[in-house]
Amino acid sequence: MLVVVLAVLVAVALAGHRLIPGGGIIETFLPWLGLCIPMLALLAWRRRPAVTVPAVLLPLIAWSVLFAPALLPADEGHDLIAVQHNASDVNPDPAGTVRELLRVSPDLVALTEVLPSALPTYDAAFGPAYPYRAAHGTVALWSRHPLTEDSPLDIRPSAFGPGWNRGLRAVAKTPHGDVAVHVAHLPSVRMGLSGFATGPRDESAVKLGAALKSEPLSRVLLLGDLNATVHDRGLRPITSRLSTAPAFAFSWPARAPVARIDQILGRGLTVTALWSLPRTGSDHLPIAARVRF
């Protein structure tokens, strides 16, 4: 009966992950719970298959509901391509990083961890094909299309000082219509004995969610390092208002990516595909998305 108990526990963790106290760790690595299923199936087959094999169907069904759509072929249709990347403030090769990002011919490129002193280097690397740029604090946006209404976005947690600025909003005037582009870098989480310490990140997510709720334009695109996967309950103020394509597209850590904490989400438009780009001089992988109006 041990196999049955384990199968039920895995199914509950998948289906009810938001109800598990301190479940941020589980939610970060949620897709990897699927690795338990073939192991449980093997144990079930060796013991009492008539009883235990049906039990293994529970986690299989739960995993499939959450992640099977990511295994389907991506929709190739799109009106623009967007790229999000935590470029790292200690990146030794900003120009090489930009060259890698431009291989997918994006319309919009959002970068986080961009120091103001590095902006001229990035501007030169993007060149005349991306003449429009918005930058506030350590986040920046480059665009093929004109940017208007460029302003900082206040997502600062109350315990952080006034110099902390990791958000911006701009309107991209694309050939298909105006899009409100929000770029954000939420605070990092800290690992402790009781799990992830997510307070500042969650507070920042609430502020970002409020900004998205009050956004006057119908088409909205959020590009950012949110320091959480889309299944993390801390992002509910955001993911309850925006959606993205089903995809694994892991972005962190770059050496052996196991989670996607960099996100591209939209409202009033459709993110039709999402994928990771090759490694740059950062500890994150870039992610790219096809977007259809």
What mean pLDDT is predicted for residues 170-196?
87
> Mean pLDDT: which of 20-29, 46-55, 175-184 is highest?
175-184
Q: How far apart are the first and last CA of the chain?
A: 51
Judged against a pLDDT cut of 80, whether residue 47 lies above it is answered with no
Q: Are residues 184 and 100 in the same domain?
A: yes
Q: Are residues 19 and 140 in the same domain?
A: no
What mean pLDDT is predicted for residues 210-222?
98
pLDDT tens-digit map of 104-137: 999 999 999 999 999 999 999 999 999 999 999 9
Q: Are residues 57 and 125 in the same domain?
A: no
CATH code, domain carrying 240: 3.60.10.10
Q: Are residues 129 and 170 in the same domain?
A: yes
Q: Are residues 50 and 119 in the same domain?
A: no
What mean pLDDT is predicted for residues 269-291?
97
Strands (E), the chain: 80-86, 108-112, 132-136, 139-143, 147-152, 167-174, 177-185, 190-192, 195-197, 220-225, 262-267, 270-276, 287-292
Q: What is the pLDDT of residue 236?
A: 96
User: Which of 71, 106, 128 is the C-terminal boundary of a domain?
Assistant: 71
Q: Are residues 200 and 102 in the same domain?
A: yes
Judged against a pLDDT cut of 90, whether residue 153 lies above it is answered with yes
User: Which of 53, 71, 89 is the C-terminal boundary of a domain?
Assistant: 71
Name residue 221's beta-bridge partners.
181, 266
Nearest residue to 291 (alpha-carbon basis) of 205, 208, 222? 222
Question: What CA–CA distance (Å, rounded) separates 246 from 156?
Answer: 29
Q: What is the pLDDT of residue 286?
A: 98
Q: Are residues 91 and 195 in the same domain?
A: yes
Q: Are residues 132 and 162 in the same domain?
A: yes
Q: Are residues 217 and 259 in the same domain?
A: yes
Query: Looking at this protein, which amino acid is placed at residue 219?
Result: R
User: Which of 50, 71, 92 is the C-terminal boundary of a domain?
Assistant: 71
Question: What CA–CA distance (Å, rounded) separates 229 from 67?
Answer: 13
Please give the residue range of the domain that contains residue 30.
Answer: 2-71
Tokens matching residue 78: 């799109």
Judged against a pLDDT cut of 80, whether residue 6 lies above it is answered with yes
What mean pLDDT is predicted for residues 81-90?
98
Judged against a pLDDT cut of 90, whether residue 73 lies above it is answered with no
Q: What is the pLDDT of residue 191?
A: 66
Q: Are residues 52 and 128 in the same domain?
A: no
In which band, very low, low, confident or very high, does the pLDDT at 85 lie, cut at 50, 70 and 90?
very high
- How far is CA 247 from each of CA 56, 124, 129, 152, 263, rounded to the nearest angstrom? 24, 33, 29, 30, 11
Question: What CA–CA distance (Å, rounded) separates 257 from 272?
Answer: 22
Q: Are residues 129 and 17 in the same domain?
A: no
Q: Are residues 194 and 120 in the same domain?
A: yes
Split into its structural domains, the chain has a count of: 2
Nearest residue to 170 (alpha-carbon basis) of 132, 206, 205, 122? 132
What mean pLDDT is predicted for residues 192-219?
89
